Each structure stands twice: as C-alpha cells, then as structure tokens.
Chain A
C-alpha cells in the first residue's frame, strides 16, 4: 500500500516540492544579499525603537525602505504552506471523486488501512513541506525580523510552527469537504476560501486575545515615548487619561497590527495634545513563542479533528 499511496500522490508531492524549491531559489539569494547589507550598515547593533538622530535612526529606515518590495514579496510566502497542503489533499479526494476507491478497497487490503496510509502519507508530506517553508522564511527574513519583530501577520504566519498548523487546518478542511462532496475542485477551492476567512479573522482579531496582553499608559509630552510597539502586536491604542481610561470622544487611533516600521511612520495618529496620555494594549515580541504555541494548539487541533472526521466519514459512510 505504501508504494500505491506514494504513486498516487507523487505528482502533488513533487509539485509542492517545486513550490518550495522556487521559494528557495528566490529567498536564498535575497536573504544572503540582505544579510550582507545589514552587516555592512552595522544594523546588528540597533535593536528596539531607534532613537531619533542616532546613526540607527537613519540607517534603519533606509534599510527598510530599500527592502520594502522584499518585505511585500515575503508576506505572500505565508500562503505557501496552506497551498502545499491543499495540493497534497488532492490525491485522497481524487480517489473518492473518480471512484477508484472502489478498485482499491476491493483488493485484499482493508479500507481502514487504505485510509490510514493515504491520509498519513499526505499529512506527513504537508507537515514536512510546511516546516521547511517556515525555516526558509525565518532564515531569509532574519534581518527584517530583527528590526521589525515577528509579530506582524505577514511575518508571524510564515515563521515558527504556526504555518504547519495552518497546513493541517487546510488539509483537514479539504479532506472533510472532499469526503462529503466527493468532488475535487469544488472541495479544494472551498477549503482555500475557508482558510482565507479564518486567517482574516485570526489576523485581525483573535490573535490579540490568545495570550494575555500588556497595557501601558505613557505621557505624550515626555521624551522617549512609550513602549516599542513596532515589534509588538498592538491590540488597541487610544488617547487616555493618566490612569489609562479612554477619553470620551477619543477615537481608537493608530489601530494596526504592527506592520513594518516604514508603514508605522506613515500612520496619521490624532495630533498629540501636549497634556495627553496614550494607552496601548499589546503583546510584546518576547511572547512570540507563547502565542505561536497557543495558536498552533488551537488551529492544528481543529485540523487534526477535521482529518479524523474525514477518515471516519470515509470509513463509515462511503461505499
């Protein structure tokens, strides 16, 4: 059965590997180039929020501006693990779609063995490719991450273990829809749609509530300002009084999940009143792995349940 399973998913696995190779071909030269520029500019000494007027204060924006397009390009790489997983879900659904499962289940192996082998091999491939994509993204983006942090959606979703969780989630959605529907293309497209909706929801709202956030209030008239929000995940930020109470009539401002520094600088906040205080609720960069762990647990857990449900439905209900 191992050979049969491999033969049936060979094309998809090679295609997913080709996506990985393509990204490597782009990301490795860019990563090397970026790292050398980074070291020559002496940016490794600059961490946290740059002080205006310091050499870092000039060099950081210059560096980020130079690599803006790279940053945008890399933000698309968050889609690759789920797309690879979608591809790898296809062979399972294709068997149900084409009716070839009737051939395979009427050889001498049990359908349980077929389900376990097929799902197991595709899941293993999806996890492996997700892991490699994540490692590649983390390595090549390192200079940008050093300056921007890894908390913005375009980075956070590409690095660590969360990409694997989304790969499992998309895979699970695709095989469940495929088992219920038994039509490959609609099932895969719907799974992609579900993924986009879920990720939009997680990126824009849920993630800020998965781990406890820090609330800080600071005076806007004082020097130095508040905490380094550039590298944090900002849940909310508003004008407040000294105790951090929201000022009546003050709109929520500067609401953003910290994107790049270059972007932050263009956000037009409310003109700071000299007496005003600002309060921010945020998850600092130091909680990256806590957040990744919780999010992985939830998303991969749902993905795992979906995969088991697809296996169970196929075992019980399909003939």
Chain B
C-alpha cells in the first residue's frame, strides 16, 4: 500500500520567467477526495497536468501512486483517470466508438461499467459525440476515466463550463464512484460551492503557491471570526494566524486560524463557512504574501 496518492516536493513549473507553480509541497493521502481551489492562473491546471505526465516540471519532484509520471508513464497512466479542462473528446466518434477507444487503449478497461453508465445517462451508443450537450460530453469523458478502473481520478475544472443541473449530476457521479470503489479524487475548481459536500480535503493554491492544505473538517474547526471593540490585532496575532482584518469606526473584525482556544473575553467568536475562508485566503494571496509572513508583519507593527 502506498502512503500517498500524490506527493510533490518543491514542485515548480516555469514558463519563460514566470512561475505557473512554485515550491509546491503536497501530500494527498490515498482514497481521499481533495479539492484544489484557486483563482484562474493559480497553477491548478499546471499541477494536474504535471501529475498525469502531460507537462514536465521545471523544478522539484512528483510521485503519483509512487511513480514519476514522466519517467514511468506505464506505471502511472493505467491507474490514473484524467479529465482535462473542457473534457475534449473526438467529435466525429460515436459513443460506442468512444468506448471502444477506451477499451483499445486501457488494460483494465471495464466494458460493463462503461455501458451501464452510458445507459444510466440516457444516451444511445449510436449518438455522435459532437451532437451531445456540454454536460453530456463531460459525463462521457468521466465515464471513459472511470471505466479505466483507476486508483486515482484527476479532474481539471470538470464543472466550470456546466450549467447548475449538469454540475450537480456530474459531481453526484463522482461521489457515487467514490462510495462504490473508494477511488481517490483530486479535483480542481474555482467554484467553492458543492466542494464541501463532496470533498474531504482542501488545498488552496494562489499565485503558484500553496496557501492552505488540510482536511475540510479541521479547516472549518480551526477558523473563527472575532469581533470586538476597535483595536489593533497585535495581541491576537501573537497566538493565532490572522488571515484577514477589517475595521469600522468602533469595531474590529478578524478572521483567524486559531491555535487552540481564544480565551480573550473581549472578542466575540463566530463560526465561518468554507466559502468565506477560501475567499479570505485568496484575498490574502493577492498581495503575494503568505500567511506566516503576514502574521509576522502584524506583530512587528
């Protein structure tokens, strides 16, 4: 049994002088559903494409199911399902031919599973892929990835181009596959809604760097909003990581990643939902600083 479905160390990818991904250290346990969240251009697609071997990293190393995807493609490709952004499929193929493509190109292909999924989707094998809606094409692409019988499924912005109904159906399929087979999933998205329902881990990427990495339950438990009379956050920042601070004339509101309990009775504590936490991190990442740096800066003031 491998100890990590995906592990990166100092992973980086540079295009010319700009880093699309930099100093990325991650460890994703097998069998978990991990969301990779970040704004456009954060490096999500780059990370996933490196993981499936489409891209070669410029720095650092990556192991997918224990192997380097570029050096040992035959040890990685048969066990990893991948659905690229915009889920490209040969438009001239019928669905039957698309499934045959999967059968021809994959050693562990599960024909029964593929056929079952297609009929569940209400599609006919004779239909041409080019005539399907975006949601149906995404589902066919997902079918191709699942019938490969992978141990790990990588989905790059799978629902970004789908309408809400298609999005829900797509994610339900993923949830169902996870429940049935215990497959690990890494899915990137810039839409935070839905993630809480299907994912158990969250990684926030912004500006090519990891901003936050952890189990969603821990993240939710660890973040609190503090409101109190207007003050400098200095005292709080000594103990907790202040992610965001905002002030009105009389009041100060802080979003903190709490290290243990907040004992100070001058602060009122509130819970916060995942979307707000993510937004706070993305907001913070915008000026290019990382959480610890920001904290230090506040302490020094």
Contacts and interface: CB of A to CB of B under 8 A. Distances in A.
Given A100-B90, A108-B105, A3 B77 contact: no
A43 to B, nearest CB: 51
Contacts of A98: 88, 90-91
Interface stretch (B31-39, B78-86, B214-222): B78-86
A102 B77 contact: no
Max chain B Cβ within 10 angstroms of own Cβ: one of A105, A107, A111, A319: A107
A272 interface: no
Given A11-B92, A100-B88, A103-B141, A108 B107 contact: yes
Contact of A109 (B77, B88, B93, B144): B77
B88 A99 contact: yes
A5 to B, nearest CB: 10
A3 B84 contact: no
B84 A102 contact: yes
Contacts of B73: 110-111
B123 interface: no
Given A105-B54, A110-B77, A99 B106 contact: no
Contacts, number: 67
A111 B105 CA distance: 12
B100 interface: yes
Interface in B46-65: 49, 52-56
A4 B92 CA distance: 12
B218 to A, nearest CB: 32
Interface string A87-111: 0000000000011101111111111
Given A7-B97, A319-B54, A319-B55, A107 B88 contact: no
A8 interface: yes
Contacts of B141: 103
Interface in A46-69: none
Contacts of B56: 319
A171 B107 CA distance: 33
Mostly helix, strand, loop or mixed at chain A's interface?
helix
B201 interface: no
Given A103-B89, A103-B144, A319-B54, A108 B106 contact: yes
A247 interface: no
Given A102-B84, A108-B77, A319-B49, A1 B54 contact: no
Contacts of B53: 105-106
B102 interface: yes
B22 interface: no
A100 B52 CA distance: 15
Given A98-B88, A107-B77, A108-B77, A4 B104 contact: yes
A319 B70 CA distance: 12
B148 interface: yes
B105 A109 contact: yes
B54 A102 contact: yes
B92 to A, nearest CB: 7
Contacts of B107: 108
A108 B69 CA distance: 12
A244 B243 CA distance: 94
A6 to B, nearest CB: 11
Nearest to A3: B104
B113 interface: no
B126 interface: no
A28 to B, nearest CB: 32
A8 B77 contact: no
A99 B77 CA distance: 18
A103 B88 contact: yes
Contacts of A7: 90, 93, 97, 101
A109 B104 CA distance: 10
Contacts of A99: 84, 86, 88
A108 B86 CA distance: 20
A100 B89 contact: yes
B74 interface: yes
A106 B82 contact: yes
A319 B46 CA distance: 10
A109 B92 CA distance: 21
24 contacts: A3-B104, A4-B101, A7-B93, A8-B92, A98-B90, A99-B86, A99-B88, A102-B54, A102-B82, A102-B88, A103-B88, A103-B141, A105-B54, A106-B82, A107-B77, A107-B102, A107-B106, A108-B74, A108-B77, A108-B78, A108-B105, A108-B107, A110-B77, A319-B49
Interface of B: 49, 52-56, 73-74, 77-78, 80, 82, 84, 86, 88-93, 97, 100-102, 104-107, 141, 144, 148
Given A7-B97, A103-B84, A106-B54, 14 more contacts: A4-B101, A7-B101, A99-B84, A102-B88, A103-B141, A104-B105, A106-B53, A106-B80, A107-B101, A107-B106, A107-B148, A110-B77, A111-B73, A319-B55
